[in-house]
A and B are shown apart, each in its own frame.
Chain A
């Protein structure tokens, strides 16, 4: 009995999270309404991104503002691989000769997604020597600089990326099921990492950096591992996004998107995986409600553009001030916690959130 309990405890969190994702996916699949299924796919794609972000941020306690850059890299890579060759010839008439092969290559959807993840992870690896040796605050600032560099290159290198004009013609192949499978895989990946030797060492450094160093943990190296893995997952999110939206430009991956990802992560809870999944689910629902409220399909009153974003910003501030540890606080989702325990507001003090440096 004891042992079966132990095995159950080891897998119950990812199990519950995958169940939650399955439930969300079923809503999208069975609703029959194209609008709802679109909202669900979008939420699932964001979930891949935020799970990816949380692999780094939750375990290391260092906030990254740069993950949308990995998402952008993934989206563009996937677009190069899957836009039909004939269309690419039209889209990129002045591709520099050294990069002409980008026009000729072509691959299937699944392979393209994996390659996008790998390319994003490659750029993460490239950035990790400078960024990961920095202290927490400086690393966050450096991650903003990284986002800005990628943004500048994507929007200015017109011959290769079409600059500020949209990239069009990516086949819309991301389905509810496909996105849900990707979320499930990234949840399992994140969970396995966070329980691995490396994940535990990184979490030790989050709790007390000096003590972790004194125990021989190379904090910078451990952060780099999480950074690359989370870059990989964020790149996959970008690939899925490109196949969901099929038309995008560099601004799709800039500050507004970064803001949305941060709201999701903070509202869910910054320091664990359940927070990321729960946060995306809750915020996606709230966002959709606000969107409908704004365009008048609920309540019949049209609100001016921007009011839903203001509401999101207020939700974020509310959580930072009143419940900085997020909805999930310190606890992962477990069968025990479903039985309900105590007041929602007493859980999670400021002290916990302040583990984020």
Chain B
């Protein structure tokens, strides 16, 4: 029983992180059909910000990292994606690939390919034992932070005017524009929110890994990508569900697959993605108006 609860706790904290990751990607896909490969590099930027600020007190780090990633995200919109506003999704996808490569190599140029250690705050690594469960402070912080961010995002999307405009744009961008939604405002805010989510994800990931390198964005990007496909591209509720489901599944697969198969976990996950695309290309909780041929 306590073994099961342990898995459950791990699964929930991983699921929370994956949900954040997936939402960032799905938001942009919903609003402008952009599959943003540069999302992983935003996380890397956040990681290096943490490395640069590792001597500072934690409140400064926690605030500065999302701010920096938000600025970077908005900057990529201004420089690369705004001139492509009316391009096809595949053109956007290729452009995002270019931006991602560019950011990664900028980091290679300026920081170099060697990983840097960022030791997490002492408080985060403390472990307590409650009723046979090993609980680290980091797990609690992760769950609380993810919960707070998701609640905040939910509030923003459901209760505010901007949120209504974002949801309208995600549903039907042309129609939303006709009804007076300002395209630039909505798109820039979507990029800003994506950037902030990437920053928060970077905080949690670097706390967990204790190191940053220039390729650290690849894994979270894949997670976000798979989660978004599972949940239904462009549907925010679907993305959240997909990300969470993916986190829980990978944790459980990691715990339950025979030892010899664990290295192939990712291959199983991606095969499941293709299978899902075949059986239910619109995702588990599809965005409205998705056509399936």
Q: Report which A residues bind B (CB closer than 8 A).
A: 62-63, 127, 129-131, 133-138, 140-142, 144-146, 148-149, 152-153, 156-157, 209, 219-220, 255-256, 259, 262, 266, 304-307, 309-310, 312-314, 316-317, 320-321, 324, 350, 353-354, 356-357
Question: Considering the chains assembled together, what is the distance between the CA atoms of A342 and B101 in angstroms?
Answer: 34
Please pick, from B87, B263, B273, the residue contacting A350 in the complex, using a CB distance under 8 A: B87
Please tell me if B274 contacts chain A, counting CB pairs below 8 Å: yes
Question: Contact mask B255-293 → A, CB, 8 Å, 1/0?
Answer: 000000001101100110111011001000000000111
Chain B positions 74-129 with a Cβ under 8 Å from a chain A Cβ: 80, 83-84, 86-91, 93-95, 97-99, 101-102, 104-110, 113
B90 touches A356 (CB 8 A): yes
Question: Considering the chains assembled together, what is the distance between the CA atoms of A62 and B266 in angstroms?
Answer: 25
Of chain A, the residue at the smallest CB distance from B265 is A152
Question: Considering the chains assembled together, what is the distance between the CA atoms of A157 and B262 in angstroms?
Answer: 11
Closest 3 CB pairs of A and B: A306-B105, A306-B108, A156-B263
Tell me which residues across on chain A come within 8 A of B267, comparing CB atoms.
Answer: 148-149, 152-153, 156
Please tell me if B241 contacts chain A, counting CB pairs below 8 Å: no
Please pick, from B35, B94, B264, B271, the residue contacting A320 in the complex, using a CB distance under 8 A: B94
CB distance from B201 to the nearest CB of A (A): 20
Please tell me if B137 contacts chain A, counting CB pairs below 8 Å: no
B91 touches A356 (CB 8 A): yes
Residues of B within 8 A of A (CB-CB), count: 48
B101 touches A313 (CB 8 A): yes
Chain B positions 232-248 with a Cβ under 8 Å from a chain A Cβ: 233
Of chain B, the residue at the smallest CB distance from A163 is B263
> Known contacts A321-B84, A357-B89; is A307 also within 8 Å of B264 by CB?
no
A135 touches B292 (CB 8 A): yes
> Known contacts A313-B98, A320-B95, A350-B87; is A141 also within 8 Å of B80 by CB?
no
Please pick, from B97, B101, B109, the residue contacting A304 in the complex, using a CB distance under 8 A: B109
Tell me which residues across on chain B come within 8 A of A63, comparing CB atoms.
Answer: 90, 93-94
Tell me which residues across on chain A come within 8 A of B271, comparing CB atoms.
Answer: 145, 149
Of chain A, the residue at the smallest CB distance from B82 is A321
Tell me which residues across on chain B come within 8 A of A354, comparing CB atoms.
Answer: 87-88, 91
Question: Contact mask B163-189 → A, CB, 8 Å, 1/0?
Answer: 000000000000000000000000000
Please pick, from A62, A146, A306, A324, the residue contacting B274 in the complex, using a CB distance under 8 A: A146
Please pick, from B94, B229, B277, the residue contacting A262 in the complex, using a CB distance under 8 A: B94
Question: Considering the chains assembled together, what is the distance between the CA atoms of A156 and B110 in angstroms?
Answer: 32
Question: Considering the chains assembled together, what is the distance between the CA atoms of A153 and B261 in angstroms?
Answer: 11
Please tell me if B222 contacts chain A, counting CB pairs below 8 Å: yes
Please tell me if B18 contacts chain A, counting CB pairs below 8 Å: no
Tell me which residues across on chain A come within 8 A of B90, comparing CB atoms.
Answer: 62-63, 136-137, 140, 356-357
CB distance from B190 to the nearest CB of A (A): 19
Please pick, from B105, B106, B264, the residue contacting A153 in the complex, using a CB distance under 8 A: B264
Of chain B, the residue at the smallest CB distance from A263 is B98
Please tell me if B225 contacts chain A, counting CB pairs below 8 Å: yes
Of chain B, the residue at the smallest CB distance from A265 is B94
Question: Contact mask B42-58 → A, CB, 8 Å, 1/0?
Answer: 00000000000000000
Question: Considering the chains assembled together, what is the distance between the CA atoms of A152 and B109 in angstroms?
Answer: 28
CB distance from B24 to the nearest CB of A (A): 17
Tell me which residues across on chain A come within 8 A of B277, comparing CB atoms.
Answer: 130-131, 134, 138, 141-142, 145
Question: Considering the chains assembled together, what is the distance between the CA atoms of A312 and B91 in angstroms?
Answer: 16
CB distance from B67 to the nearest CB of A (A): 25
Please pick, from A127, A134, A353, A356, the residue contacting B281 in the complex, using a CB distance under 8 A: A134
